Structure 1
């Protein structure tokens, strides 16, 4: 059970990191659009 909890946290943090990178990338102007930063 502890292993699955750690795995879930890892996936969640990876998802947040991906979202942050996406927002930073869009701020550069490559994917800038009003719907990107939700």
Structure 2
């Protein structure tokens, strides 16, 4: 039971990390694009 929960939690944290990384890369990409457009 606990092992299953731990596994689920690890998967969740992994997905969260992925989502955060995706958001960060998307933000930095749009930021660079904005800089490129303004310059």
The list of structure 1 runs, each at least 4 consecutive aligned residues, that deviate by more than 2 angstroms after superposition, is none
Select the structure with the greater relative contact order (CA < 8 A; seq sep ≥ 6).
1
How well do the aligned residues superpose, as a CA RMSD in angstroms?
0.8
The structure carrying a bigger helix percent of its residues is 2
Q: What stretches of structure 2 of length at least 5 have no aligned partner?
A: 33-39
Q: What stretches of structure 1 of length at least 5 have no aligned partner?
A: 33-38
TM (normalized to structure 1)? 0.73
Flag the structure with larger Rg: 2
